[in-house]
């Protein structure tokens, strides 16, 4: 009944971890969602899980693409920061991830990058929303499916 390629990836992943009977898969909600074939839609649950986030970070580090997660987390931190701290955090995000030749420059399209650079001096609460969503989508469509097939994912599941 499942013809969606993404779903097939997750069903394959589910099979590899011996679900649904395997007790190892019942301890984390993000793993249960993998069982249901909804993992692509539920990267956020993984990111909200300390163990899941760390396993995903380790995987991204092994692929030399940790900057995407670090940027996403910095944007989350920025969104909940007080107005007094937003200017400082904004400056840090620009220097670390947005500016040309930033040490952890994220892969943003020219239009998004230019829009961000045009408001460098006047950040507001939603300054990074569009860029953060683009990086989230990139992780969800690219890194996350590979993570689900990785040894890091398998090790994270065994650890729980």
Domain assignments of the chain as residue spans, ordered by start: 5-63+143-159, 66-138
Select from 3.40.1390.40, 1.10.10.2120, 1.10.167.10, 1.20.1090.10 the CATH code of 66-138: 1.10.167.10
Predicted TM-score of the model (pTM): 0.73
pLDDT in tens, 23-48: 333 233 334 344 444 443 478 878 88
Q: What are the tens digits of pLDDT across the range 19-28?
A: 333 333 323 3
Instruction: Give 46-99 pLDDT, tens digit per residue.
Output: 888 788 888 899 999 999 999 999 999 999 999 999 988 999 999 999 999 999
String of DSSP letters for the chain: ----HHHHHHHHHHHHTTTTT-GGGSS-HHHHHHHTT-GGGGHHHHHHSHHHHHHHHHHHHHTT-HHHHHHHHHHHHHHHS-HHHHHHHHHHHIIIIISTT-TT-----HHHHHHHHHTTTS--TTTTHHHHHHHHHHIIIIIHHHHHTSHHHHHHHHH-
């Amino acid at each position: 009944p499942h013809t969606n390629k993404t779903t097939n990836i997750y069903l394959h992943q589910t099979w590899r971890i011996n679900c649904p009977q395997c007790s190892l898969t019942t301890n984390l909600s993000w793993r249960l969602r993998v069982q249901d074939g909804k993992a692509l839609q539920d990267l956020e649950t993984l990111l909200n899980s300390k163990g899941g986030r760390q396993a995903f970070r380790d995987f991204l580090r092994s692929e030399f693409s940790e900057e995407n997660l670090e940027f996403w987390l910095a944007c989350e931190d920025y969104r909940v920061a007080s107005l007094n701290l937003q200017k400082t955090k904004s400056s840090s995000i620009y220097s670390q991830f947005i500016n040309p030749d930033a040490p952890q420059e994220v892969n943003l399209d020219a239009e998004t990058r230019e829009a961000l650079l045009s408001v460098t001096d006047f950040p507001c609460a939603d300054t990074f929303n569009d860029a953060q969503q683009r990086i989230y989508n990139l992780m969800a469509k690219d890194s996350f499916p590979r993570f689900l097939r990785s040894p890091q994912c398998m090790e994270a599941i065994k650890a729980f």
